[in-house]
Structure formats: structure tokens, C-alpha cells
A and B are shown apart, each in its own frame.
Chain A
Amino acid sequence: LAKTTQPISMDSYEGQEVNITCSHNNIATNDYITWYQQFPSQGPRFIIQGYKTKVTNEVASLFIPADRKSSTLSLPRVSLSDTAVYYCLVANGVTGGGNKLTFGTGTQLKVEL
């Protein structure tokens, strides 16, 4: 499984755009990149998934360069409620193949007024 590396923490203010970058140098050809959000005392929640280039949904964008060795989660105009831990994971195929997921440290995002 591709190991991921993220910043331990990031601070931001309401209304700003936040970009969290994840490194996954050993990503395999069939691997997809998925980002999860976790609030305290809750299970992780799916945010976005991508394979290459750019993916956008109603809550975030995911940018993946051509070599796919990194990815950047972009949260537009964050609010206090976006304060959470964000995890980047790499797994085989769109559905992950049923293989065990290895969670890295995640990035603790703190949004202030």
C-alpha cells in the first residue's frame, strides 16, 4: 500500500481557501486517491476521490499532477465547521478493492474567526 505523508496541522481563518497537500510517492497504477474528514468522536466521512487531473464536488476540489505522486485537497472559503482532521488515503481501484486502508497522521485543520 502506498504510504502517505501530510502536514500534521494547518491553521486558517474563515473565508479563506485552504489547500492541504499529500505525498504518495509509491502510488501504483491502479490506485485512486481518497480524502476523508473526521470530526472529534465521529467516524471518517468521505469528501472526494480522484485518479488524475482535477475533480470537483460541492464541498471540495482535488488536484492531482500528472505524475500522481502527490495530491492537493482544496477547501474553498472555509468556515469554523471545517475544523477537523483530514486524511489522504491511497487504495486500489475506485472502490478500494476491499483491501485494508492505512491511515497516516492526517492533517488537523483549525479554522478561526
Chain B
Amino acid sequence: GAVVSQHPSWVICKSGTSVKIECRSLDFQATTMFWYRQFPKQSLMLMATSNEGSKATYEQGVEKDKFLINHASLTLSTLTVTSAHPEDSSFYICSEWGANGYTFGSGTRLTVV
């Protein structure tokens, strides 16, 4: 099946710094990319949707200037958490949609200290 490579799997950063999370489609072209956030013992919450070459659409309550999404190609999408704060600590998951449906990345555990 389709494979999405998400990196890093975990990251610890200082408050106020920025962190970039990357998702790559290894064997298919991702028409649409979804980014989710998951807090401990909670379900996945959609943050934003992006299509290759266009601006991302953010869900209500998600700050677009804080969570920068770049989907410059059909195989690469990035999420940058800018000026991270402890409350941004969470598990971030990308999901790519293509001809075979949805494929999820392995997730990134972000801890802001």
C-alpha cells in the first residue's frame, strides 16, 4: 500500500523557537494533505487541509500564522509550528489523500519546554 514518511518522529524544542515537521509520499502522488493534532487520550483533531500549490484551509480555531503549511509538491508537505509554546506540545499526524484513499504518517511527538 501507499507509504507516507513523516519526520521527525519526536522533537523537543525550547519555547519561542520554531519546529518543522515533514511528510513525504514515497510511492504515490498526494493530491490533498491533511494535518491533525492529537492530545493525550483524545481523538485526532483536524487542523488544516492543503492541496498542492495552493494555500491551506485551516479549521476554526487554528491559527494560520502559527501553524504554517507548505504543500509545494505532490510528494512533500511541511508543517511549521512557529514560536512554539508548551501548550503546542502534542502529537501531530499528517494524512495524504491520493488515488488509493487516505494514508497516515507515523506521527511526530512535539514537546515544547
B31 near A98 (CB under 8 angstroms)?
Answer: yes
A101 vs B95: C-alpha distance when bound (angstroms): 10
- Residues of B in contact with A, size category: 20 to 34
**Number of A-B residue pairs at CB separation under 8 A:** 52
Q: Which residue of A lies closest to B49 (CB)?
A: A100
A72 vs B100: C-alpha distance when bound (angstroms): 23
Chief secondary structure at chain A's binding surface:
loop
CB distance from B94 to the nearest CB of A (A): 8
**Chain A interfacial positions (CB closer than 8 Å to B):** 34, 36, 41-46, 87, 94-96, 98, 100-106
8 contacts between A and B (CB under 8 A): A43-B4, A43-B93, A44-B104, A45-B104, A87-B43, A103-B36, A105-B43, A106-B43
Q: Which residue of A lies closest to B100 (CB)?
A: A95
